[in-house]
Structure 1
Amino acid sequence: MNYPHIIEQIKEEVHNVFHNGKDDRLIYHNLLHTEQVVRHIVKLAGHYQLSDSDFFTVMAAGWFHDTGYFTDCKNHENVGAENAKNFLQKVGVPQEVIKEVEACILSTKMPQKPEGLLQQIICDADLYHLGTDDFKEKNKTMRKEAEAFKGHEIDKQQWRVHTIAFLESQHFHTTYAREHLEKGRLKNLEELKEKSLKFQQDQDLILMNEQNIAVAETDALQKKDKKKKLERPDKGIETMFRITAGNHQRLSDMADNKAHIMISTNSIILSVILSILLRKLEDNPHLIVPTLLLLIICVVTMVFSILATRPTIPSGKFTQQDVDQKKVNLLFFGNFYGMSLTDYESGMLQMMEDRDFLYGSLIRDLHGQGVVLGRKYRLLRIAYNVFMFGIVASVLAFIIAMVFVAM
């Protein structure tokens, strides 16, 4: 057979496939790559002095091996083998040669598992660039092609890690490629690893700097907050506590005076009822109900007035845990009158050394005074309401009783 002539026909056919396909995404796996693979096949075939039939087999496989990209990029080897089969059958190539061509094309599928010299030659020719100085440029081109097919940008470090894994898993199959390309493959692999390591170190350094900046900002904020606390107007705060405590004390005194007025007034009324009215009830039975009503009103008013002034005293003891947790108010006698001087002095010294504990105690003291005042005025309001409405009701009762008697 005239193999050289058929090879020229194959070349023309493959050129037409690539020119008619026009897939702009094929930045790497294009006609230029196919021609480079064919040149590498020629070099390897010349070294091994292949027969005309074997030379034709690997050349035909080299020309057709990437023509399947235009139909199915994921299974392009199968499509390329089918394209080769269809064309070679047209030009009358023997069936056994066609099968060998198909096997050579399919052997380029990753991971490569070539069987025999012919398949090893095309596999090494396809990945020839892994051991050359052109590897860097071709690797960039492959990344651009992968981005074009995926439709988005691929991170450089991610691609670098992927390429390192590929180079580590890949090896050349022919003796010629191992002798002339293996050293270059290892060199390219080492350079990629160095770049990857440097990138990782830079990222770690950036992360460390960001963490240091974050820590510094946190420290600055804490110092700023501490400075704000230290710069608080102490005299103004103390004046506020002093005025508020004085106001609470005056309100408490007013409540006590009001309670005493109610107690005194109702005591007088009770005295009058008991000394005068009760004696005359036998002669004036119609006054029994008004008198009892007035008596009850006076008693209820006095009870609520007394409750408003009656003191409530806590246990007068605290624990060291209360002091440590800043829960106790050592400024109120009801919390410490049952403690020894030593324990109280220790707690007070601890409170005076702790700014937050001291101001917290003052705040709790004001709050406690407010709670007591609220209770006093609530009971006093009840007492005044009972007295006010009760007196009116009693007077009306006396008037009604007198009117009925007069009738």
Structure 2
Amino acid sequence: MIAQETSLLQQTQIYAESLLKHLAVDYTYHNLSHTRAVVAFANEIADHEKLSDTDRETVLIAAWLHDVGYKEGCDNHEANGINIARPFLEKQGLSPKRIEEIEACIQATKMPQNPQGKRLPEILCDADLGHLSADDFLERSEDLRQEMKHTFEKISKKKWRKKTADFLENHHYFTHYGKTVLEPRQLANLEKLRQQLGDDDAEDEPKHGKHDKDKSDKDKSKHHKEQKDALNELSKEPDLPHPLSESKPADTVKKERKPERGVETMFRLTSANHFQLSSMADTKANIMISINTIVLSLIVSILARKLEEWPILTIPTVMLAVTCLVATVLSVLATRPNVTSGFVSREDIENKTANLLFFGNFHQMGLSDYEWGMRRMMDDSDFLYSSMIRDIYFLGKVLGRKYKLLRWSYSVFMFGLVISVIAFGIATYMSK
């Protein structure tokens, strides 16, 4: 049941049911029963994602309307559904911004799903494929096969199970609830499907004697080749209404969902190198500060009192003091920390422009907001890796400033010390 049923939701339900009840009988999967299941999944996910009442209503409205486009046929049904839903939503008095949010949710369900890191579309995408984790998954999958047979092309049960298993192996939910609750159930359904595939393979075992082994091997090889060709042809169709037929190749999906280990190693080594360089810069700055402060102490405590007796040493002493003072100031500036606001807004997190990996960006945030933002980032691989990229970039900018100031400090110290020593030598020579 829908929590906190609103008048707008009731009107949307009545409108969606009036359209879906009159779909062609060929739609044995994308029908009113499927829409009701998606609404139930969306409501379940919304509970665990702790949505506001407005956001929950937006997701549930999109869930009711996401498949009404099948009234015009299976081709491009998301766009058709948006065109059908827009006049109804405008009539209900929704603002243009709210309508755009609902339309974005519907459009995100187009396979391959692409919620673009937005929270509400992610919830609807997970709800739309919630049946992958349902107890009646095998029955719903057969309904989808029957729909494909009537609307696109007849597919044998074995081919269908193989293609469905491939899809399940590569599908991952977007929301935290989907990853922690729905995916384990999906894996259990995958095991059931694999068991059926194993039974299919056992039935297909050749029953010829040893003298027919070569012939059976050739026939089996030919059978697998034909099966593979059929699956490849099926996967090339551009406008299939089924998520499996529109999914990306398995290797592509794996690369998108699970970056290669080399990428993760690159991030780890780059971050470690940056921190090591930062530590080296701080050590170099500390050396300069220590040396120059000691020299300044000697100048003030010893040389300054001797200048009355040796006025000719005034200029070299001042030169040395200025050299040490400037070198010390530059070294201090190199290690002087910058103070940041320490706060990022939820809007920045939604737009994926916030970097929550650096303490300077979140030390003024509340724990609940920071935890919410981190979970959003962990659920979105693009957001996560873009944050890591930005973190490395800005750490590099800080390192660049540090080493630039350190170079100036060392240069001032080196040239100033040389000139001061020469000046002391000249002054000593002239005093004789």
Q: TM-score scaled by structure 1? A: 0.49
Structure index of larger Rg: 1
Q: Relative contact order (alpha carbons < 8 A, sep ≥ 6): 1 or 2 greater?
A: 2
